[in-house]
Amino acid sequence: MDRKPKKIGRPTSYRLKLAHRICDLIATHAIGLRTLTATHDWMPTQSTINKWLWKHEEFSLLYARAKLAQAAILPDECLDISDDTSRDTLYKTNKDGEEHEVANNEWINRSRLRVDTRKWLSAKLLPRIWGDAKRVEDLEGQNDILRQELRTLRAELDAKSQKEF
Protein backbone atom coordinates (compact mmCIF):
# COMPACT_ATOMS: atom_id res chain seq x y z
CA MET A 1 0.00 0.00 0.00
CA ASP A 2 1.64 3.23 -1.19
CA ARG A 3 1.12 6.28 0.93
CA LYS A 4 1.50 9.75 -0.42
CA PRO A 5 4.15 11.67 1.44
CA LYS A 6 2.83 14.48 3.60
CA LYS A 7 3.29 17.83 1.92
CA ILE A 8 5.76 20.08 3.62
CA GLY A 9 5.38 23.85 3.56
CA ARG A 10 2.58 26.30 3.17
CA PRO A 11 -0.45 25.62 0.96
CA THR A 12 -0.29 27.02 -2.56
CA SER A 13 -3.44 25.63 -4.16
CA TYR A 14 -6.62 27.65 -3.75
CA ARG A 15 -9.53 26.18 -1.80
CA LEU A 16 -12.67 28.09 -0.86
CA LYS A 17 -12.62 26.68 2.69
CA LEU A 18 -9.08 28.01 3.16
CA ALA A 19 -10.09 31.36 1.66
CA HIS A 20 -12.91 31.64 4.22
CA ARG A 21 -10.54 30.78 7.05
CA ILE A 22 -8.04 33.44 5.95
CA CYS A 23 -10.74 36.09 5.56
CA ASP A 24 -12.26 35.24 8.96
CA LEU A 25 -8.87 35.81 10.52
CA ILE A 26 -8.40 39.12 8.69
CA ALA A 27 -11.88 40.31 9.67
CA THR A 28 -11.32 39.65 13.36
CA HIS A 29 -7.75 40.91 13.80
CA ALA A 30 -6.52 44.43 13.22
CA ILE A 31 -3.12 43.38 11.95
CA GLY A 32 -1.71 43.29 8.46
CA LEU A 33 -1.58 40.38 6.06
CA ARG A 34 2.21 40.20 6.29
CA THR A 35 2.02 39.70 10.06
CA LEU A 36 -0.81 37.17 9.78
CA THR A 37 1.04 35.04 7.25
CA ALA A 38 4.23 35.21 9.31
CA THR A 39 2.52 34.07 12.51
CA HIS A 40 0.32 31.28 11.10
CA ASP A 41 2.12 28.34 9.49
CA TRP A 42 -1.10 26.99 7.98
CA MET A 43 -1.56 30.13 5.86
CA PRO A 44 -0.17 30.53 2.36
CA THR A 45 2.47 33.19 1.87
CA GLN A 46 1.50 36.79 1.33
CA SER A 47 2.51 36.59 -2.33
CA THR A 48 0.30 33.53 -2.86
CA ILE A 49 -2.65 35.32 -1.28
CA ASN A 50 -2.02 38.36 -3.47
CA LYS A 51 -2.06 36.12 -6.57
CA TRP A 52 -5.35 34.57 -5.43
CA LEU A 53 -6.87 38.06 -5.15
CA TRP A 54 -6.32 38.57 -8.88
CA LYS A 55 -7.12 35.02 -9.94
CA HIS A 56 -10.23 34.19 -7.86
CA GLU A 57 -13.06 36.70 -7.92
CA GLU A 58 -14.88 35.10 -4.98
CA PHE A 59 -11.75 35.39 -2.85
CA SER A 60 -11.29 38.99 -3.90
CA LEU A 61 -14.83 39.77 -2.73
CA LEU A 62 -14.38 37.86 0.54
CA TYR A 63 -11.09 39.63 1.16
CA ALA A 64 -12.61 43.08 0.50
CA ARG A 65 -15.42 42.36 2.97
CA ALA A 66 -12.91 41.09 5.52
CA LYS A 67 -10.90 44.33 5.19
CA LEU A 68 -14.09 46.35 5.76
CA ALA A 69 -14.82 44.33 8.88
CA GLN A 70 -11.22 44.84 9.98
CA ALA A 71 -11.61 48.60 9.53
CA ALA A 72 -14.54 48.52 11.95
CA ILE A 73 -12.26 47.04 14.63
CA LEU A 74 -9.73 49.87 14.45
CA PRO A 75 -11.82 52.59 16.22
CA ASP A 76 -12.47 50.16 19.09
CA GLU A 77 -8.74 49.61 19.37
CA CYS A 78 -8.22 53.38 19.44
CA LEU A 79 -10.53 53.58 22.43
CA ASP A 80 -8.78 50.70 24.18
CA ILE A 81 -5.35 52.26 23.63
CA SER A 82 -6.53 55.72 24.69
CA ASP A 83 -8.22 54.43 27.84
CA ASP A 84 -5.24 52.32 28.96
CA THR A 85 -3.37 54.46 31.49
CA SER A 86 -1.53 51.55 33.10
CA ARG A 87 1.88 52.61 31.76
CA ASP A 88 1.46 56.38 31.58
CA THR A 89 3.69 56.96 34.59
CA LEU A 90 6.99 55.64 35.89
CA TYR A 91 8.59 55.76 39.29
CA LYS A 92 12.05 57.28 39.39
CA THR A 93 14.41 57.55 42.34
CA ASN A 94 16.05 60.90 42.94
CA LYS A 95 19.49 61.48 44.51
CA ASP A 96 18.01 61.40 48.01
CA GLY A 97 16.62 57.91 47.40
CA GLU A 98 13.01 59.10 47.27
CA GLU A 99 10.73 57.69 44.60
CA HIS A 100 8.56 60.05 42.63
CA GLU A 101 6.15 59.58 39.76
CA VAL A 102 7.01 60.96 36.32
CA ALA A 103 5.25 60.81 32.96
CA ASN A 104 6.28 57.90 30.76
CA ASN A 105 6.61 60.02 27.63
CA GLU A 106 7.86 57.12 25.52
CA TRP A 107 4.71 55.10 26.27
CA ILE A 108 2.41 58.09 25.84
CA ASN A 109 3.97 58.96 22.48
CA ARG A 110 3.83 55.33 21.34
CA SER A 111 0.14 55.20 22.30
CA ARG A 112 -0.49 58.39 20.34
CA LEU A 113 1.26 56.87 17.32
CA ARG A 114 -0.76 53.66 17.61
CA VAL A 115 -4.03 55.60 17.75
CA ASP A 116 -3.04 57.91 14.87
CA THR A 117 -2.04 54.93 12.73
CA ARG A 118 -5.37 53.21 13.34
CA LYS A 119 -7.27 56.42 12.60
CA TRP A 120 -5.35 56.81 9.33
CA LEU A 121 -6.03 53.20 8.34
CA SER A 122 -9.73 53.57 9.17
CA ALA A 123 -9.92 56.70 7.04
CA LYS A 124 -8.23 54.91 4.12
CA LEU A 125 -10.29 51.72 4.35
CA LEU A 126 -13.64 53.44 5.02
CA PRO A 127 -13.25 57.07 3.92
CA ARG A 128 -16.96 57.88 3.88
CA ILE A 129 -17.33 56.76 7.49
CA TRP A 130 -13.98 57.57 9.13
CA GLY A 131 -12.42 59.95 6.62
CA ASP A 132 -12.06 63.66 7.02
CA ALA A 133 -15.57 65.01 6.37
CA LYS A 134 -14.26 68.20 4.78
CA ARG A 135 -12.07 66.23 2.38
CA VAL A 136 -15.03 64.05 1.28
CA GLU A 137 -17.20 67.15 0.85
CA ASP A 138 -14.43 68.82 -1.17
CA LEU A 139 -14.23 65.81 -3.46
CA GLU A 140 -18.00 65.77 -3.90
CA GLY A 141 -17.89 69.50 -4.69
CA GLN A 142 -15.17 68.90 -7.25
CA ASN A 143 -17.33 66.26 -8.89
CA ASP A 144 -20.14 68.80 -9.22
CA ILE A 145 -17.75 71.31 -10.79
CA LEU A 146 -16.44 68.69 -13.22
CA ARG A 147 -19.98 67.70 -14.18
CA GLN A 148 -20.87 71.32 -14.89
CA GLU A 149 -17.73 71.77 -17.01
CA LEU A 150 -18.62 68.63 -18.98
CA ARG A 151 -22.13 69.97 -19.60
CA THR A 152 -20.68 73.27 -20.83
CA LEU A 153 -18.23 71.49 -23.16
CA ARG A 154 -21.00 69.27 -24.53
CA ALA A 155 -23.19 72.30 -25.18
CA GLU A 156 -20.31 74.04 -26.99
CA LEU A 157 -19.63 70.93 -29.08
CA ASP A 158 -23.31 70.59 -29.92
CA ALA A 159 -23.45 74.26 -30.94
CA LYS A 160 -20.36 73.86 -33.16
CA SER A 161 -21.66 70.71 -34.79
CA GLN A 162 -25.01 72.42 -35.47
CA LYS A 163 -23.22 75.31 -37.23
CA GLU A 164 -21.17 72.92 -39.39
CA PHE A 165 -24.25 71.18 -40.75
* Count of structural domains within the chain: 2
Identify the pLDDT of residue 149. Answer: 73
Q: Is residue 2 part of a domain?
A: no
Q: Is residue 82 part of a domain?
A: yes
Residues 119 and 140 in one domain: no
Residues 113 and 141 in one domain: no
**Which CATH number do you get for residue 42?**
1.10.10.60
| Mean pLDDT, all residues of the chain | 84
Question: Are the beta carbons of 70 and 29 closer than 8 angstroms?
Answer: yes
Contacts of 15 (CB under 8 A, 6+ apart): none
Map 64-114 to HEC letters. Answer: HHHHHHHHHHHHHHHHHHHHCCCCCEEEEECCCCCEEEEECHHHHHHHHHH
**Quick check: 163 pLDDT over 70?**
no
**Quick check: 103 pLDDT over 90?**
yes
